[in-house]
Structure 1
Amino acid sequence: MGGRRWHATGGPVMISAASLTRFRELLQRRLGWTFADHDLGPTAEVLAARARAHGLTDREYLDRLTGRRWTAEVAELASALSITETYFFRHEEQFRVLRERVLPEMIEARAGQRVLRLLSVGCSSGEEAYSLAIAAIRARPGPDWIVTVTGVDANREMLRRARDAVYSSWSLRDTPEDVRRRWFRPVEDGFRVADEVTGTVRFVEHNVAGDDPQLWHPARYDVIFCRNLLMYLTAEVAAELIHRMTRALTDGGFLFLGHTDSLGSRPDGLDVCHANGTVYYQRRAVAPVRGETPAPPPRRIPAAAPPAPAARAVTDHGDQRRVLGLMRDDRFAEALDTAGDADSLTRGVLLAQLGRVDEARDTANRLLHAGGPQADAHHLLGVCHELDCAELAVGQYRLAAYLDPQFAMPRLRMGLLARRRGDDRGAADHLTAALELLTSENEERIVLFGGGFGRLALTTLCRTELDACGVRR
């Protein structure tokens, strides 16, 4: 099979049409990307360069890429093939709608929780994610509101630049002067984003062709930006990404796409909105599920029950410090691989984070069967049961708090559940206790059970929920 061949600069490598076709098909499967015919030359260059970097022929390189999970190399390909040009507050008309319409509506809806969660899909070098953070911080009614922004991209090098948070004046070319003075600090290489902003933003390496149950947890985000990415994806990957983003929006949450992207006039689960010449989408409210069967009350534990072991003593497999570091970065799949296969609290928590709730519940029950009552394992069961029966979850949290009176996390969860069902007095009792206990809570427990929040954010959450209960401190 001869056909056309492409000559790659930088070396005497000739890429056959068959190898290039195979490479494009692999990229579609691994990254979900599609390519136009005019991209063939640059794509051949990348194939030749990556094969040469590993000392392989193009055929050997493709065989290796086909036959194994080569995560690091897929990240290199994403870096080599990504289009990364962006700047702060790009498409200002969309940010105007965000400031004037969307954020005020979400702030009114979130007055009880005082938390705003935003997501930037295909965040590149971070300008969009930081722009969202600045807009949300400026819009929030007070400093007790928590703003979190997640930026995701498959390009590892772009994410490194995003975490550095230093940009040239060209990246700020559409940034108003007052915003530049307030939220950026001059440094030798340009401008650094202010700490108040960078502290609200985290960046996650993610390939949109794959799933991540934690990242795409249902009803997790109030606002999602995904601009000028869909046009580069295959139809199947784009459709699945739209489904995940829609599901991940809270009821009434908003989705912004690029001007070249359209979901038609009646997208599934979304309403089309128009303002200031901008089209955007709002998630339709979903009716709550009714008719849950009340769970039986939890069994009583005798007062002589042994104390709960510390969370750090549960896992004997893998490097626990590395696992916790991966969890802090929301890299739960990698953390699960590192944690090993044996039953452990850490493994159970990671299974729950990845949406494998039945496995997490089984792990917790096996831990209890093998070691007797353990506050951490009962708390994990409570986390699992929150998805299907709040009453059973409360029972498990009560057991956890009974077994370890210094354990802040079950008191916090019981307070939030009480708030959800309108029991402000009960919520205040639990939240007050959690607020006091958080100052000395075990750091590993915060990583394991904090839901992505650190000690300071959890403390702020307790205080804002107490304010909403009308409690004076």
Structure 2
Amino acid sequence: MRQALPVARFRGILEQRLGWSTADTEAVPIFPVLAERAAARRLSEDDYLNRLAGRDWPEEIAILAERLSITETYFFRHGSQFRALAERVLPERIEARSGQRVLRLLSVGCSSGEEAYSLAIAAHRARPGPEWIVSVLGLDANAEMLRRAGRAVYSEWSLRETPQDVRQRWFRRTKEGFEVVPDVVGSVRFAGHNVAGPDDPGIWQPERYDVIFCRNLLMYLTEATATRLVERMTGSLAPGGALFLGHTDTLGSRPAGFRVEDAGDTVYYRRVVPAPAPPDPAPRIVVARRPPRRRADPREAALRLLRDERFAEALDLAPTHDLLLRGVLLAQVGRIPEARDAARELIDSGGPDPDAHQLLGTCDEADQPDQAYGQYRLAAYLDPGFAMPRLRMGVLARRRGDGRAAAAELATALELLPRESQERITLFGGGFGRLTLSSLCRTELDAAMSRETRR
């Protein structure tokens, strides 16, 4: 009996602090961890539990997450899910993102990073061209696992389900093991996140992700924590995006906000947004007349919708005379010929315009990269303080193997980005903010300089 009370209390604290359900037999027995951590803190078990249950103790909660979480994983685990991702989900998301040319994927409970890097490799293999940006975020509460993920070096055992051609293309053998190639590493970032904690608006942005993997995590969470996590993931998936769960997890046959899709020997959940119900007819009410409210500026409203990646709605609001904004939005929804026409009309009506040439470069980049490079170069010439064309020229130069030109342009872009106007970031940043663009620029610059060093 002496052990039962402390262990029961410890379980309750873990449920409260980490959202973990520990009622069943634990894969990692919790009583030895309780004894070990109390001794490490030089406290009795009762005093340790009192301290843990009291005010926030984030450093100890992080240690408990490390000691108690299950971390075994490997690349391309459950291959049937990755086949469904590659053959069905990613081609559909690429078509949906043809204007923006960005794929965003999320790995919840990423452990030591194999799943997040597997998602990034799958997206890199599927993207139509190097101008497409792949962005993968891996979340976990275990700080030690995140440190391992950041190293991006793995044993051969971690690659036991990885096809040979994928090993050869996306990994490099080193003295320490297998290192993920820089292009993939640069597209993945990791963040510590406790799913039982408060909402993080930087992570759970509405309709942000094309794909979310959350495998074999829900079964370890309390019902309340699992429900909140599913709600967050649902809201953060773009319409048509896909949620993959582990084989031990299910949302049932009729999950709210999803359609269950069968892909051979696996299932996943497709995000659907129900059509709004028609409003109930309301009786006519006579109210006292008020002074007319100031009408919202349609251009500001359109820019706000553009920042939220609601491109079709933004296009409906954009003033017809604002050729630049309309051209950017037309490109984002995939109407490239009309976007080119808007840019050329802007140039014809007012002469050379750096933003119009930047827009033309955006339109040309997918299928005419050399022509796009020329448009970006003209935009930079017309406005030497314009960071965005420098960034795109650097990316294009690196893609064609010109490391020296890429490094020069990217270094200039990195210097100019802090002073870039917020409106240009919104118009030409591809949905990314200033800090993310700076990080992307730094990653591309490191890769370009590494290539030059190896020559």
Q: Is the TM value for this pair above 0.5?
A: yes
Identity of aligned residues (%): 54
- 1:38 has 2:25 as partner: yes
User: Which residue of the other structure, out of 147, 152, 166, is the alignment partner of 1:165?
Assistant: 152
> 1:432 Cα shift?
3.8
Give the whole-Å Cα distance in 2 for the aligned partners of 1:70 and 1:432. Answer: 54
Give the whole-Å Cα distance in 2 for the aligned partners of 1:447 and 1:42. Answer: 55
- Taking structure 1 as the reference length, what is the TM-score of the superposition? 0.66
Deviates more, 1:36-45 or 1:83-92: 36-45
- 1:190 has 2:190 as partner: no
> 1:36 Cα shift?
3.5
Contact map agreement 2:215 2:247 (CA 8 A) in 1: yes
Deviation per CA, 1:91-123, whole angstroms, max 9, x where unpaired? 011111111111111111111111111111100
Q: Which amino acid aligns with 2:129?
A: G
| Equivalent runs, 1:42-57 vs 2, <5 Å | 42-57=29-44
Contact map agreement 2:100 2:332 (CA 8 A) in 1: no
Contact map agreement 1:146 1:457 (CA 8 A) in 2: no
User: Which residue of the other structure, out of 247, 251, 260, is the alignment partner of 1:259?
Assistant: 247
- Call closer, same or farther: CA 1:45–1:413 in 2, change over 3 Å: farther
Give the whole-Å Cα distance in 1 for the aligned partners of 2:18 and 2:356. Answer: 44
Give the whole-Å Cα distance in 2 for the aligned partners of 1:413 and 1:77. Answer: 50
Contact map agreement 1:419 1:427 (CA 8 A) in 2: no
Q: Which amino acid aligns with 1:278?
A: T
- 1:231 has 2:214 as partner: no
- 1:453 has 2:423 as partner: no
> 1:456 Cα shift?
8.0
Q: Which amino acid aligns with 1:85?
A: E
- 1:61 has 2:44 as partner: no
Give the whole-Å Cα distance in 1 for the aligned partners of 2:332 and 2:187. Answer: 25
Contact map agreement 2:208 2:237 (CA 8 A) in 1: yes
- The number of equivalent residue pairs is 352
Give the whole-Å Cα distance in 1 for the aligned partners of 2:27 and 2:122. Answer: 39
- 1:204 has 2:187 as partner: no
- 1:21 has 2:8 as partner: yes
> 1:276 Cα shift?
1.5
The SS at the match of 1:132 is: helix
Deviation per CA, 1:263-304, whole angstroms, max 9, x where unpaired? 11100000000012101110013558999x994449xxxxxx
Q: Which amino acid aligns with 1:70?
A: W
Alpha-carbon RMSD across the aligned residues, in angstroms, is 3.7
The SS at the match of 2:83 is: helix
> 1:179 Cα shift?
0.6
> 1:453 Cα shift?
2.7
- 1:273 has 2:261 as partner: yes
Q: Which amino acid aligns with 2:50?
A: D
Give the whole-Å Cα distance in 1 for the aligned partners of 2:51 and 2:421. Answer: 37
Deviation per CA, 1:149-170, whole angstroms, max 9, x where unpaired? 1110000000000000000000
| Equivalent runs, 1:44-443 vs 2, <5 Å | 44-210=31-197, 211-287=199-275, 295-297=295-297, 416-417=328-329, 419=331, 424=339, 430=355, 432=357, 436=380, 437-438=386-387, 439=390, 440=413, 442-443=416-417
> 1:201 Cα shift?
0.4
Give the whole-Å Cα distance in 1 for the aligned partners of 2:207 and 2:156. Answer: 37
Deviates more, 1:43-52 or 1:151-160: 43-52
The 4+ residue runs of structure 1 with deviation greater than 3 A are 285-291, 293-298, 381-391, 411-423, 425-436, 439-450, 455-459
Contact map agreement 2:211 2:242 (CA 8 A) in 1: yes
- Call closer, same or farther: CA 1:288–1:183 in 2, change over 3 Å: farther
- Call closer, same or farther: CA 1:138–1:385 in 2, change over 3 Å: closer
Deviates more, 1:83-92 or 1:70-79: 70-79
Q: Which amino acid aligns with 2:229?
A: L
Q: Which amino acid aligns with 1:262?
A: T
- Call closer, same or farther: CA 1:48–1:146 in 2, change over 3 Å: same
The SS at the match of 1:453 is: helix
Deviation per CA, 1:398-429, whole angstroms, max 9, x where unpaired? 9xxxxxxxxxxxx9988645656877355786
> 1:73 Cα shift?
1.7
> 1:225 Cα shift?
0.5
The SS at the match of 1:209 is: coil
- Call closer, same or farther: CA 1:201–1:22 in 2, change over 3 Å: same
Give the whole-Å Cα distance in 1 for the aligned partners of 2:356 and 2:23. Answer: 56
Deviation per CA, 1:19-68, whole angstroms, max 9, x where unpaired? 22221111111111011343398211112222222222222222222222
Unmatched segments (≥5 aa) in structure 1: 6-16, 299-377, 399-410, 460-473
Q: Which amino acid aligns with 1:244?
A: R
The SS at the match of 2:269 is: strand
- Call closer, same or farther: CA 1:65–1:153 in 2, change over 3 Å: same
- Taking structure 2 as the reference length, what is the TM-score of the superposition? 0.68
Contact map agreement 1:273 1:281 (CA 8 A) in 2: yes
Give the whole-Å Cα distance in 1 for the aligned partners of 2:276 and 2:328. Answer: 18
- Call closer, same or farther: CA 1:413–1:172 in 2, change over 3 Å: farther
The SS at the match of 2:42 is: coil
Contact map agreement 1:88 1:175 (CA 8 A) in 2: yes
Give the whole-Å Cα distance in 2 for the aligned partners of 1:41 and 1:86. Answer: 16
Contact map agreement 1:251 1:286 (CA 8 A) in 2: no
The SS at the match of 1:253 is: strand
User: Which residue number corresponds to residue 375 of structure 1?
Assistant: none
- Call closer, same or farther: CA 1:30–1:177 in 2, change over 3 Å: same
Unmatched segments (≥5 aa) in structure 2: 280-292, 347-354, 360-375, 381-385, 391-412, 426-431, 443-455
The SS at the match of 1:259 is: coil
Q: Which amino acid aligns with 1:36?
A: A
Q: Which amino acid aligns with 2:262?
A: H
The SS at the match of 2:26 is: helix
